[in-house]
Chain A
Amino acid sequence: MRYEAPETIDAAVALLGSVGRARPLAGGTDLLVQLRAGIVEPDLIVDLKKLPGLRTIAKEKGGFRIGAAVTGAELREHPDLRKVWPGVVEAANLIGSTQIQGRASLGGNLCNASPAADSVPALIAAGATVTIIGPGGQRELAVEAVASGPGKTILAKGEFVTSIFLPARPPRSADAYLRFIPRTEMDIAVVGCGVSLTLDQSGTCTAARVALGAVAERALLVAEAGAALIGSKLDAAAFEKLIAAARKACRPIDDKRGTKVFRIDIAGVLAQRTATIAAERARGQK
């Protein structure tokens, strides 16, 4: 097994396309575990951390461009990001322990393509896009289009994610992320939910996106759940519709972490609780 840490994007693309079993490495918090368990046996590991822009957070068009290898701890410590996108930051900060936070990245969490990845529903709700580079050049994609199933992405051979873009926000916008785990820490989401919404001056919801994790083969954008909130004052009737839409979208499995029935139940509960937090945050802005 070979390890390379190229310093240019072109070199990284060339390396990843050159060998049959090549794997990109950001924080490595998933890859190293898979290596140790014998799940993957790559011939080449390409460390992306030395590539330009992969480890920086930059303001762009009123939004944020986050390098794919930026860690959870760096997201938390950024002076502005947390104020504008608290839900994305709190989601990323639920991944693993303090030690893991120093390594685990948004790009890795997305491309590992676990249906239970914590940051992904938050990014989907946020309307985030990713920049992908590869032998065929560069392309942009919505976050919800990246994973295609457990452990699978639409990335072609040699392609990798360089950055994630969080767009500019209108006033009175906020997001939130909640996950359900039986413990308080060190666990994998049984259900995860991200909500991002915008209110007008009267408190009416003008935009809303709701995403669910761990209830399908990949994280889902639930358009009907967002629609249930838009045009409402986020009252009980709207929440009832939200809960129903969230539950309807679930197509979970029974596994060691939870049952189908339980996941569907909890998806509704979390959608309401997450939307409530996002709404409180949006109302809190003057």
Chain B
Amino acid sequence: MNDIPLAGTAPKAELKWVGTRGPRPDGLDKVTGRARYGADFRLPGMLVGRVLRSPHAHARIRGIDISKAAALPGVKAIVTRDDFRDMPSEFVPAGEMMVNYRDIVRNVMAREKALYEGHPVAAVAATSASIAREALSLIKVDYEVLPHVIDAAEAMRADAPLLDETMITAGVDPAPTKPSNVAKRMEFSTGDLKAGFAQADFVIERSFATKPVHQGYLEPHACLASVNEAGQAELWCTTQGHFVVRTHCAKLLDMEMSQIRVIATEIGGGFGGKTVVYLEPLALALSSKSKRPVKMVMTREEVFLSTGPTSGAHMKVKIGVRKDGKITAAEAELIYEAGAFQGSPVGPGCMCAFAPYEIENARVIGYDVISNRPKVAAYRAPGAPISEYAVECVIDELAQKLGLDPVEFRLKNGAKAGTRALYGPKFGPIGLVATLEAAKNHPHYSAPLGPNQGRGVASGFWFNIGGESCASLHINEDGSVTLMIGTPDIGGSRASMALMAAETLGIDVAHVRTLIADTDSIGYTFLTGGSRATFATGMATVDAAKAAIRQLCARAAKIWEISEDAVVWEDGHAKPAGQNAATFPPMSLAELAGKAGKTGGPISGHAEINAQGAGPSFGTHIVDVEVDKETGRVDIKRYTVIQDAGKAVHPGYVEGQFQGGAAQGVGWALNEEYVYGADGKLQNAGFLDYRMPVTSDLPMIDTVIVEIPNPAHPFGVRGVGETPIVPPMAAIANAISRAIGTRLCELPMSPPKVLKAMQAHKANGG
């Protein structure tokens, strides 16, 4: 692992804790089995909640008869569509998101229609799992099975079955008169496309297709809800945002937010997929009816059938270049599958597609299309890996056409500070060029390749976000520090918060413990997503620590009987601000904490912020593959991730994020796909046949952390969690194309497809 401090970017002050690789605060409990995940909570009198799911991909629900199930001894509550109020179709703010509760209420419980196999139709709470299972079999649902459509391209056809008979495509002027499965059309453009292509010496246009892929978190969705007779609720759940869970549940169940306390459990992976509600409103409704605690845990099959994934897509990308290597124009059309309800990440897909490049004339058109499969959920840099995969493949092909090194070609056109992105803003200091330079200079890039091997390169971009975060920092009587935050820790953020607090306070990080506070114990905090936790909650943490320091200084001033402005905080100690102020010996944080009772009471610092100035993160990946020419099987031989972290607060976790993104990208690139039968039913709802990579499929993934500080953050943090999933698919596609001499434009690049491509290439004289 190489950390490359770049000239001129070294932090001004010497840092003692930020940038160190201390032990993982969550590690011990996780490896010893003590960590309590969503399914690990129990309450006296707890019931088992189970969901009845549609066996059909598309069916009208004519009636639901629960009478037999309700009469079964041991069944304490049943909920169906009748237990949830309908909501109007409008996009309203939920925290920082715009959501459509008409769709959310239908996704958690089918109303008029079941829109995918696995769509919840009813839920039961019973005294045992076997009674719950029996009760489900006693619920009679009268379905009128309808024709279904799975693929977005087919869903766009005029004769496709309609999921929502009222859906009129938004963003088209004049509005269409007929309903369709196209929820929305969007367009981003700049410059003069025609003139741009006219200047080009070469133009390459290709069509691409990708498949929906699941986030693949190891921990299935799970929750425990308890509602008392007064309507006060407690909810333990595995989530990336317990405040968002509270918002949605309050809305769906007509409850006041103050009546719902949500406790985020330890989380076994989320990757964006745990930013939505599935079981939580059902468990609360069942508990509310039965007045007993209700626990619900999905099986792996249910996770595949009814949660996530990210979109599959059909795309066209066209890019023109001059002989000197300058891109003159670029155009893309992106069709993203949203699943059963609108809201694919095609918007960010459009915005990110050409973001790594300075292109004067560009246009991206996107379509959000619904079909009979589970509603997509966020998955690391939602939308970006799909469109950037297509663009980065064409970039690679252009480099080949021009006879240019693919890194050099990117350097010629790469975005830098001052480049205006297609989606609007001008970039501040960014690290794309630095990652490309680091790639060029990395020993991997010049290492010799063996037979049947190829090397691919791709770059990637993700915005990163800021947003609302709170932090409460309590100075304990013994001088230790408890830090409470509201962003669940999915990637090591408790460690980075502790490091930033320790750095600011000037104390040993061993004395700082970070906790994820429940929704009643800290102010509203938006979810962990958008790579925002270390950036935004980190800013709140630093502010909270500074607030505590002001208090500590005031207490010292009181003890010394000098004015508050005459005290400074240095190295974990209050000191008189110079000879003129006074000559008292410095007082440590622990000393001041011990005297807090006599100097005014407990000392805490708080911060409630809306963090602005998130810094985008760029990455460049290098990968070597070896292709078995007889079987089409692809082996990943070597992999290097280079990414701008702004500042790596805990480099070990940052490297983990880089490696994890690359590992997930290998699965996306090579083997992961949903296999549907002609009946619209999913055939591979499990890890055996949904082929995510296993450890032995991966080489040790090398990492390089580039640090171009984000000026908006006290330590320069950008956020690193999402960008690592953006480049792998194109990097691997580019490597395969260089190994076999022909290009695949469809994911996954599974052995049958690679073999077929090689055979076709050979038949064409390749």
Q: Which of A49-57, A71-79, A158-166, A251-259 contacts B (4 or more CB under 8 A)?
A: A251-259
Does A184 contact B752, Cβ atoms closer than 8 Å? no
* 0/1 string, A184-204, CB within 8 A of B gives 1: 111110100000000000000
Instruction: Let me know if B694 and A184 touch, CB within 8 A.
Output: yes
Contact status A187-B751, CB under 8 Å: no
B residues contacting the other copy or chain, number (CB 8 A): 21
Chain B, Cβ-Cβ closest to A255: B683
Contact of B689 among A257, A261, A266 (CB under 8 A): A257
User: How many angstroms between the C-alpha atoms of A180 and B633 in the bound complex?
Assistant: 9
Any A CB within 8 A of the CB of B691: yes
- Pick from B630, B633, B675, B687: contact of A182, CB under 8 Å: B633
Task: Pick from A183, A190, A257 the residue with the most CB of B within 10 Å.
Answer: A183
- CB-CB contacts of A87-130 with B at 8 A, as 1s and 0s? 00000000000000000000000000000000000000000000
Contact of B631 among A257, A261, A269 (CB under 8 A): A269
Q: Is B696 engaged at the interface, CB distance under 8 Å to the other chain?
A: yes
Asked if A265 and B755 make an inter-chain contact with CB atoms under 8 angstroms apart, the answer reads yes
Q: Which of A253-280 contact B (CB under 8 A)?
A: 255-259, 261-262, 265-266, 269
Q: Mark A20-47, 1 if CB is under 8 A from B, else 0.
A: 0000000000000000000000000000
Find chain B residues with CB under 8 A from A266 CB. Answer: 631
**B residues near A261, Cβ cutoff 8 Å:** 752
Q: Are B671 and A256 in contact (CB under 8 A)?
A: no
**CA A24 to CA B365, docked complex, whole Å:** 60
Contacts of B694 in A (CB 8 A): 183-186
Q: How far is the CB of A99 from chain B (nearest CB, A)?
A: 14
Collect the chain A residues with CB atoms within 8 Å of residue B693's CB: 183
B451 to chain A, nearest CB (A): 17
> In the complex, which residues 647-678 of chain B have their Cβ closer than 8 Å to any Cβ of chain A?
670-671, 675
- B688 at the A interface (CB under 8 A): yes
Residues of B681-708 at the interface with A, using a CB-CB cut-off of 8 Å, are: 683-684, 687-689, 691, 693-694, 696-697
Given A180-B633, A266-B631, A269-B631, check contact A186 B688 (CB 8 Å): yes
Contact A259 B752 (CB under 8 A): yes
Contact A182 B688 (CB under 8 A): no
Chain A interface secondary structure, helix, strand, loop or mixed? loop
Residues in chain B near residue A190, CB distance under 8 A? 751
- Asked whether, in the complex, the Cβ of A183 is within 8 Å of the Cβ of B697, the reply is yes
When distances are taken between beta carbons in the complex, the residues of chain A under 8 Å from B476 are none
Residues on A with C-beta less than 8 A from B751 are 180, 182, 190, 262
Chain B residue numbers with a CB within 8 Å of A184 are 694, 696-697
Q: How many contacting A-B pairs (Cβ < 8 A)?
A: 47
Most buried by A among B630, B683, B684, B696: B630
CB of B189 closer than 8 Å to a CB of A: no
Q: How many residues of A contact B (CB 8 A)?
A: 19
Are the CB atoms of B691 and A183 closer together than 8 Å? yes
Question: How does the 8 Å CB contact mask read for B751-766 relative to A, with 1 for contact and 0 for none?
Answer: 1100100000000000
In the assembly, what is the distance between CA of A266 and CA of B687, in Å? Answer: 24
- In the complex, which residues of chain B have a beta carbon less than 8 angstroms from the beta carbon of A262? 632, 751-752, 755
Cβ of A187 and Cβ of B631 under 8 Å apart?
no
A130 to chain B, nearest CB (A): 27
Q: Is B671 within 8 A of A183, CB to CB? A: yes
B742 at the interface (CB under 8 A from A): no
Q: Which residues of chain A are near B689, meaning CB under 8 Å? A: 188, 256-257
Determine whether the beta carbon of A256 is less than 8 Å from that of B675. Answer: yes
Report the minimal beta-carbon distance from B683 to chain A, rounded to whole angstroms. Answer: 5
B480 within 8 A of A: no
A259 to B759, CA, bound (A): 15
Establish whether residues A187 and B688, one from each chain, have CB atoms under 8 Å apart when the complex forms: yes
Q: Is B750 close to A, CB under 8 A?
A: yes
Contact B752–A258 (Cβ < 8 Å): yes
The reply to whether B631 and A256 contact each other, CB–CB distance below 8 Å, is: no
Instruction: Return the contact of A187 from the options B630, B670, B691, B755 (Cβ within 8 A).
Output: B691
A180 touches B631 (CB 8 A): yes
B64 to chain A, nearest CB (A): 22
A236 to chain B, nearest CB (A): 15
Q: Do B696 and A182 touch (CB < 8 A)?
A: no
CA distance A30 to B652 in the complex (A): 40
A17 to chain B, nearest CB (A): 28
Which chain A residues border B633 with CB–CB below 8 Å?
A: 180, 182
Q: Shortest Cβ distance from A192 into chain B, in angstroms? A: 13
Residue of B nearest to A36 (CB): B299
- Report yes or no: A182 in contact with B684, Cβ–Cβ below 8 A: no
Tell me whether B755 and A182 are in contact (CB under 8 A). Answer: no
A30 to B421, CA, bound (A): 55
Residue of chain A at shortest CB distance from B751: A182
Q: Are B671 and A182 in contact, with the CB atoms below 8 A?
A: yes
- A54 to B120 CA separation, bound complex (whole angstroms): 46
Contacts A256-B675, A256-B689 given; does A185 touch B631 at CB 8 Å: no
- Which residues of chain A (144-169) have a CB below 8 Å from chain B? none
Tell whether A188 pairs with B630 under 8 Å between CB atoms, given A183-B671, A256-B683: no
A-B interface, 8 closest residue pairs, ranked by CB to CB distance from nearest: A262-B752, A256-B675, A184-B696, A269-B630, A256-B683, A256-B684, A182-B671, A185-B694
A-B contact sample (8 more), CB < 8 A, given A183-B696, A269-B631: A182-B671, A182-B691, A183-B671, A185-B694, A256-B684, A256-B689, A261-B752, A269-B630
Report A's interface with B, CB cutoff 8 A. 180, 182-188, 190, 255-259, 261-262, 265-266, 269
A-B contact pairs, 26 of them (CB 8 A): A180-B751, A182-B670, A182-B671, A182-B691, A182-B751, A183-B691, A183-B694, A183-B696, A183-B697, A184-B694, A184-B697, A185-B694, A185-B697, A186-B688, A186-B694, A187-B688, A188-B689, A256-B683, A256-B689, A258-B752, A262-B752, A262-B755, A265-B631, A265-B755, A266-B631, A269-B630
